[in-house]
């Protein structure tokens, strides 16, 4: 009987190791499925942002076209050639302002997509999040101690 105790211990250890390995495999499969879901969600959000970016660009262009048309109409109604002199400078300035706004918006969009963060609410995986949490926790402890 005494000889069976080490064998029973080995069998128990083997069963425990098997259970641990199976649990690890299940957790790895769950983590992989979660990563795939997050990747799909990110891709969908990026498509939404791309569509919103295009809609904003169209809206800005439409607004510019309306503004240019009304400015030219007012200048022409007052007897000024809208394409020459100071009137031309006004319309050129409107176009330049619109181009700068579009470039800024495009740069922001490109930076967000390059970083893989479609939203500032998404974690960036850096240590910054943990440091901020530590600061918040430290502040809460200090307020409790005061």
Find the range with the poorest average confidence among 2-11, 30-39, 83-92: 2-11
pLDDT band at 111 (very low <50, low <70, confident <90, very high): confident
How confident is the model at residue 79, as a pLDDT?
84
Residue 62 or 120, more confident:
62
How confident is the model at residue 132, as a pLDDT?
64
The percentage of residues in the chain with a pLDDT greater than 70, rounded to a whole number, is 75
Q: How is the chain split among helix, strand and coil, in percent rounded to 5?
A: 85, 0, 15
pTM of the model: 0.51
pLDDT at 120 over 80: no
Instruction: Give the mean pLDDT of 41-48.
Output: 83
Q: Which residues contact 42 (CB under 8 A, 6 or more apart)?
A: 116, 118, 122
């Amino acid at each position: 009987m005494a000889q069976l105790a080490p064998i029973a211990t080995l069998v128990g250890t083997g069963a425990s190791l098997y259970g641990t390995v199976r649990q690890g495999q299940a957790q790895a499969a769950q983590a992989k499925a979660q990563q795939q879901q997050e990747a799909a969600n990110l891709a969908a959000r990026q498509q939404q942002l791309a569509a919103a970016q295009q809609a904003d660009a169209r809206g800005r262009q439409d607004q510019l076209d309306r503004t240019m048309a009304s400015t030219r109409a007012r200048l022409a109604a007052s007897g000024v050639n809208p394409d020459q002199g100071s009137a031309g400078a006004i319309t050129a300035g409107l176009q330049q302002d619109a181009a700068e706004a579009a470039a800024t918006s495009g740069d922001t969009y490109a930076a967000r997509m390059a970083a893989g963060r479609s939203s500032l609410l998404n974690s960036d995986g850096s240590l910054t999040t943990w440091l901020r949490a530590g600061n918040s926790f430290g502040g809460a402890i200090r307020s409790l101690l005061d």
